């Protein structure tokens, strides 16, 4: 752990409290000069650290910047040893974690970035990931004895876990547009992308990378024109430490569901938040789009639809659109 990381961990655990440079130096076994240099570096990164003569240094409770130590202080005991890497920017958190997975990184490895220069959504689409306003994270999973079609369970568990996390930090009501979009106030605030690597011999998953993108605040210049009518943010004004809290809430929720995979528990929660049950949707495939009524979601989180010709189908993958 670097000097800056040690100092940030101390500040994150004691937001609003002042520490003299001498006390910090003794606690962390550093020189006063090293403390001063680390404080200046954190301030340059945007941390609201005040320095007052005869009082010392203090991290403001109103700071809302992602950090590994800031997230870990909210994690449950069972998840505290998860390796969490927070980066200022990446091309794609999913691509970053996939590369780590190919080199044998352990399950639970999580990368969180303040920005993605080439964020990806489903079907190869771009995911708008501007700096400082969102939460972009990917977690490596190595489920045992998982077939390819079971990967949808990871996505649906993640959707429930993020809904619960958003509700916990914001008190907003969340809804899920099958299979992987989370809506607040009728607009999309979160997308989920699960990518998997399969063993050619067994057909089992070697690993899966769970990617999450959340619009926490409105981008400085607004959303791009092509998504401005469907995208929204959770908060309109700055919040105290909400990014770290949201990341930890999600990881706590998701890892608890993932450890047990008790379908009766998370499936009903997924179903109860459905945005589309009882609604007319358009089912989009490569070669056509068909209008249908959504009649339910089964215990495997497949979408049950009835087409205008009376034919019924269970969808385990694909895409739907709905006119809200």
Shared domain for 306 and 191, answered yes or no, is no
The two three-digit tokens of residue 242, written as one number: 């909400």
CB 276 within 8 A of CB 303: yes
- Does 9 lie in the same domain as 73? no
For residue 262, what pLDDT is reported? 58
Domain of 54, CATH number, reads 1.10.10.10
- State the pTM of this model: 0.90
Task: Using DSSP bridges, classify how beta strands 84-87 and 110-113 pair: parallel, antiparallel or unpaired.
Answer: parallel
Are residue 244 and residue 289 in the same domain, yes or no?
no
Q: Is the pLDDT of residue 263 over 60?
A: no
Residue 86 has a pLDDT of 94
Do 153 and 186 lie in one domain? The reply is yes
**Do 215 and 155 belong together in one domain?**
yes
Which run of H or E residues covers position 303?
strand 303-307
67: its two tokens: 């950090």
Residue 264 has pLDDT above 80, yes or no: no
Are 155 and 224 found together in one domain? yes
The token pair at 126 is 């771009």
CA atoms of 179 and 193, how far apart (whole Å):
10
What CATH number is associated with residue 291?
Answer: 2.30.30.100
Residue (of 199, 188, 190) closest to 148 by Cα position = 199
Measured over the CA atoms of residue 247, residue 176, residue 180 and residue 259, the dihedral's sign is positive
Backbone φ/ψ region at 170: left (φ over 0), alpha (ψ -120 to 50), beta: alpha
How far apart (Å, rounded) are the C-alpha atoms in residues 182 and 166? 10
Which of 272, 292, 307 corresponds to the end of one domain? 272
CATH number for the domain that contains residue 139: 3.30.930.10
DSSP three-state, residue 282: strand
pLDDT in tens, 87-130: 999 999 999 999 999 999 999 999 999 998 877 766 567 788 88
User: Are 121 and 145 in the same domain?
Assistant: yes
Alpha carbon of 156 to those of 92, 206, 212, 268, 276: distances in Å?
A: 21, 19, 12, 11, 15
Q: For residues 73 and 193, state if they share a domain.
A: yes
Question: Quick one: pLDDT at residue 226?
Answer: 86
Token output for 68: 């590994």
Write out the DSSP string of 64-84.
Answer: ----HHHHHTTS-GGGTT--E
> What pLDDT was estimated at residue 123?
58
Domain boundary among 232, 248, 272: 272
Place of tokens 């000069």: 33
Residue 15 sits in the same domain as residue 105: no
CB 198 within 8 A of CB 211: no
pLDDT confidence bin for 265, thresholds 50/70/90: confident
Q: Cα dist. 33→30, 221, 243, 265 in Å?
A: 8, 40, 31, 53
**Over the stretch 133-174, which tens digit does the pLDDT of each residue have?**
999 999 999 998 887 777 788 999 999 999 999 999 998 999
Task: Please state the rounded mean pLDDT for residues 22-42.
Answer: 92
- Final residue in a domain of this structure, among 234, 256, 272: 272
| pLDDT given at position 232 | 95
* Both tokens assigned to 39: 């404080």
User: Considering its fold, how many domains does the chain have in total?
Assistant: 3
Query: Residue 278: pLDDT band by 50, 70, 90 thresholds?
Result: very high
pLDDT recorded at residue 67: 93
Based on the fold, state whether residues 159 and 74 are members of the same structural domain. Answer: yes
Residue 117 CA neighbour count, 13 Å, CB half: 6
- Are 215 and 313 in the same domain? no
Q: Which two tokens stand for residue 77?
A: 């005991």
Per-residue pLDDT, 271: 94
Q: Are residues 95 and 29 in the same domain?
A: no
Q: Which residues contact 147 (CB under 8 A, 6 or more apart)?
A: 203, 204, 205
Distance CA 155, CA 303 (A): 14
Expressed as residue numbers, the domain containing 31 is 3-59
């Amino acid at each position: 752990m670097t000097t800056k990381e040690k100092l940030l961990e101390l500040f994150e655990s004691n937001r609003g409290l002042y520490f003299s440079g001498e006390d910090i130096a003794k606690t962390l076994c550093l020189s006063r000069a090293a403390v001063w240099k680390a404080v200046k570096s954190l301030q340059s990164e945007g941390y609201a650290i005040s320095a007052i003569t005869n009082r010392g240094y203090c991290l403001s409770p109103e700071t809302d910047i992602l950090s590994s130590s800031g997230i870990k202080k909210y994690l449950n005991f069972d998840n505290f040893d998860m390796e969490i890497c927070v980066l200022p920017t990446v091309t794609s958190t999913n691509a970053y974690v996939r590369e780590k997975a190919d080199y044998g990184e352990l399950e639970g490895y999580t990368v969180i970035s303040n920005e993605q220069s080439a964020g990806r959504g489903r079907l190869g689409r771009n995911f708008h990931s501007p700096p400082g306003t969102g939460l972009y994270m990917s977690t490596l999973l190595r489920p045992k004895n998982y077939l390819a079609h079971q990967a949808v369970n990871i996505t649906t568990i993640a959707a429930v876990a993020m809904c619960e996390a958003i509700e916990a930090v914001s008190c907003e009501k969340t809804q899920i547009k099958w299979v992987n979009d989370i809506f607040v106030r009728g607009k999309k605030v979160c997308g989920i992308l699960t990518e998997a690597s399969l063993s050619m011999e067994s057909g089992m998953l070697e690993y899966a990378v769970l990617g999450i993108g959340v619009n926490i605040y409105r981008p400085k210049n607004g959303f791009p024109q092509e998504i401005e009518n469907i995208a929204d943010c959770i908060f309109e004004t700055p919040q105290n430490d909400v990014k770290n809290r949201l990341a930890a809430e999600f990881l706590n929720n998701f890892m608890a569901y993932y450890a047990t995979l008790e379908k009766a528990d998370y499936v009903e929660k997924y179903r109860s938040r459905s945005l589309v049950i009882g609604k007319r949707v358009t089912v989009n495939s490569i070669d056509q789009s068909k209008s249908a009524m959504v009649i339910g979601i089964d215990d495997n989180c497949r979408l049950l639809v009835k087409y205008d010709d009376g034919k019924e189908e269970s969808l385990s993958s694909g895409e739907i659109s709905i006119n809200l």
